Amino acid sequence: MERRKLGPSDLEITPVGVGAWAMGGGGWQWSWGPQDDDESIAAIHAALDAGVNWIDTAPAYGLGHAEEVVARAVAGRATKPYIFTKCGRVWDEQRRLGASLKAESIRRECEASLRRLRVETIDLYQIHWPEPDADIEEGWSTLAQLQAAGKARWIGVSNFSAEQMERARRIAPITSLQPPYSLLARNVEQAVLPYCQQHGIGVIVYSPMYSGLLTGAMTRERAAHLAADDWRRRNPNFQEPLLSRNLALVDRLRAIGRRHGRTPGEVAIAWTLAHPAVTGAIVGVRNARQVQGIIGAAEFRLDAGELEEIAAALAPQPAA
């Protein structure tokens, strides 16, 4: 499988990586509903066996649980994947998530992640969200110190604007940015991705299939019956009138994929990888079967005509 250099680092990553958000399981603010740990581990194994060499997780996913699942999945493997995790999200005794970029808080988070992941060094340590904004400099300075101390090999940011990255870059180099990017979330095209290109910052996008909506497996019925604690129930893109528009887009992706023996999800991921700023895409999987529906995106490339076809499908329709 192809490898791509991530920003200024020595990390050579595959075009797709495993996302562990849903592996945190249910019972927390941004959960995807219940999740079986054995299925999560089987999904990670299937992806690694197919050649994927990195996993992205965070303490917030299941309030520490996803990191523990990742540790179990990679234990005993002869070749260890890169493990990327984050900081800046903390929770209280009532399991309510909050934000902190204070130095002592980040140091505590780092030590806790190292314990849960059972590693001595985090391959890529990222600020999860730039909140509170006023503390970005303190938080980024702390990550630079953790890197100097050998706790993290490389450091990056997630969900930062171009202006926020500029503030951080004055303190220490940014290895990578992790933004949301998909056919249904394109805001970063205006300023954020060009900034990363200009300054040599790697980009690993998350939700390239828009949280499952572009996989081809989502239907009106399934969207209507998402688990009560699945955060997608609150997302307008999973509700009418947007849901019908989005499912029509999936039909277009399905038609393109059919020509190449690819799934709609693989076409959606390949679309994000076609952007010159994007190094890799984080793909969430919940079982080994789902891996087979996305792994082809690591090598599949859309041609210019297909990119134009997708652009036409995204164009606003004239009023009747």
Residue 82 among the catalytic residues: no
Q: How far is CA 145 from CA 141, 151, 185, in A?
A: 6, 9, 33
CA gap 84, 271 in Å, rounded: 23
Q: Is the N-terminal amide bond of 241 cis, ω within 30° of 0?
A: yes
The answer to whether 119 and 159 are in contact (CB under 8 A) is: no
User: Residue with structure tokens 């528009």?
Assistant: 245
The DSSP letter of residue 96 is -
Name the active-site residue from 61, 125, 181, 210: 61
Q: Measured between alpha carbons, how far is 143 from 290 in angstroms, rounded to an integer? A: 34
Between CA 272 and CA 8, with CA 49 as vertex, the angle to 5 degrees is: 50
Residues tagged active-site: 61
